[in-house]
Structures are given as structure tokens and as C-alpha cells.
Amino acid sequence: MLVEVAVGTLILGVAGFSLWMLRRRKYMLRGHVLRYRAVEKYVEEEE
Amino acid sequence: MVKLNSPLVMVLVIAILCLVIFYFESYGRVSKDDFGVKGGKVTAEPWRFMTFMFTHDGWGHLLMNLSALALVGVLAMGLGLSGLSFAAVFLIVGPLTVMPAILLSSPYTFVGASAGISGLFGAISVRMKRYGFSAVPFFILFAIALTATPAVEALYSQSAAAATQASMHFLALVLGAGIAVSYRYRRPRRW
């Protein structure tokens, strides 16, 4: 039983960390896309 | 609306199958000897390669596997994996993982979804490349989480069962990652 609890806790930690990293990366990529669109719009307006 | 081809739907289907078999197990209708993979029996009853993944040995085993399955489902959902690929990795890695033990005439009866789940974690580590991550650190982290505890138990109590569990988790992780790599770098179709 102890082994199962330990494996479960470790996998919970590692999967949670991976999910957190993934969320952060998605947030960053979304920011990049939004900034790129804003710049593109600004350039079009200037032209 | 939930799409049918989603990892979370597959998680639900696998969890229901595990719970149904566990219900029958707890009432003594079936046992792990009826559905588990054991050398000598699988040649006559090859369907055991499918049923062993949904059979569990006690509440602790079932709860650990179901929670890990839910976690890997959420990760797969976040990474945009399809439900079909999720199910394919789970169903292919499980039987492949027990194959070497059966060929080496292991005396144990193998049950549990952990082989398929470890394979899914391996595939997830490769899939992380989609978001610009390196697969290796995630693979190492998943390998530590899945094998460290049974490996320590095997070292301290000299338990062959724990050593087998650790090695099978690692083999499943490698197989899952291998399937994901071969799918990612497959040769494009020429029509």
C-alpha cells in the first residue's frame, strides 16, 4: 500500500509540474500571437 | 460539448471498465487469476492480453492507477492528443510490456493498467516537443516518478515482484515514447 501511495504522490507531482509548464508555455505563446497581431495591425494602418 | 474523440472520453471508458471488473472481483465472481496474464495460460487464452489491463489487485492498486490515468488524460487533453491515439498507445503498450516477462516464464500473474498508463506518460513526454520543450527532461521525470519507489523497495526488501514492477514501468515508458517518436517522424505518404 505504501508503494502505491508513494508512486501516486510522485506521479501527481510530476504530472502537475508538466501541466503547469504547459499552461505557462501556452500563455506565453498566446501573448506572442496577440502582440504580433497588434503590430501587424499597426503597420497596416501606417501604410 | 465534449468531443467523442477526446482523451477524457477514453479515460472515462477505461475507468468504467476497470470499475466494473473490480466490482465483480470484490464480490468474488472473478479473480485476477481469471483475467490476469500468466505464462502458460496466455497461449490458450490470448484475450488475457486485453483483460489484464482492466483488472486490479485491491483498492490501493485501482485508486493509484485511476488517479494516474486521470492525470495523463488531462495532460493529453492539454497537448491536443486525439482520443484514438490515446487508446491506441494504451492498448498497444500494455500487452507489449508483459510479453518479455511471459517469454522469460515469469511466475507472476500480471494485472493492472499501469503498463498502458506508463506508456501514455512516455508518449506525452515526446508530445511535449510540440510546445517547444525537450522530451528528455520530462521522460526522466516520469521515469523517476514511476520507477523510483518500486526500485527502492526492491533494493531494501530484495523483492523480485517490486523489481519486476519497476522494470515493467520503465519498459512501458520506453515503448510509449518509442511509439510517439515513430509516429512523429514517420515517412510522409506518397500518393
Does residue A26 sit within a domain? Answer: yes
CA-nearest of B146, B180, B184, B183 to B165 is B146
> Does A7 contact chain B (CB < 8 Å)?
yes
**B37 phi/psi in degrees, rounded to 5:** -90, 125
Alpha-carbon gap: A35 to the closest alpha carbon of chain B (Å): 18
Domain of residue B105, CATH code: 1.20.1540.10
Q: Please answer yes or no on whether B60 and A15 come within 8 Å at the CB atom.
A: no
Domain count, chain B: 1
Write the ipTM: 0.82
Which of A6, A14, A25 is opposite residue B132, by nearest beta carbon?
A25
Cβ atoms of A15 and B76 within 8 Å: the answer is: no
- In the predicted model, is pLDDT for residue B1 greater than 70? no
Q: What angle do CA B170, B9, B126 make, to 5 degrees?
A: 35
The per-residue pLDDT for A17 is 94
In three-state secondary structure terms, B191 is coil
Does residue A43 sit within a domain? Answer: yes
Domain that includes residue A32, residue range:
20-47
> Does A28 contact chain B (CB < 8 Å)?
no
Cα separation of B94 and B136, whole Å?
22
Cβ atoms of B122 and B183 within 8 Å: the answer is: no
What pLDDT, in 10s, does the model give residues B169-179?
A: 999 999 999 99
Domain count, chain A: 1
* Mean pLDDT value across chain B: 90
Domain that includes residue B164, residue range:
7-183
Cβ atoms of B125 and B182 within 8 Å: the answer is: no
Least confident of A28-42, B109-123, B176-190: B176-190
The per-residue pLDDT for B191 is 63
The per-residue pLDDT for A7 is 85
Give the model's confidence band at A46: pLDDT under 50 very low, under 70 low, under 90 confident, else very high.
confident
Q: Which residues of B touch A32 (CB under 8 A)?
A: none
Which of B74, B79, B141 is opposite residue A14, by nearest beta carbon?
B141
> Does A11 contact chain B (CB < 8 Å)?
yes
Cα separation of A21 and B79, whole Å?
12
Does residue B189 sit within a domain? Answer: no
Which residue has cell 527532461? Answer: B137
Does residue A12 sit within a domain? Answer: no
Does residue A28 sit within a domain? Answer: yes
Give the model's confidence band at B22: pLDDT under 50 very low, under 70 low, under 90 confident, else very high.
very high
The per-residue pLDDT for B101 is 87
DSSP symbols for B29-43: SS-HHHHSB-TTTTT
Q: Please answer yes or no on whether A3 and B67 come within 8 Å at the CB atom.
A: no
> Does B156 contact chain A (CB < 8 Å)?
no
In three-state secondary structure terms, B44 is coil
What pLDDT, in 10s, does the model give residues B47-86?
A: 889 999 999 988 888 999 999 999 999 999 999 999 999 9
The per-residue pLDDT for B181 is 93
From A21, which residue of chain B is nearest by alpha-carbon distance? B133
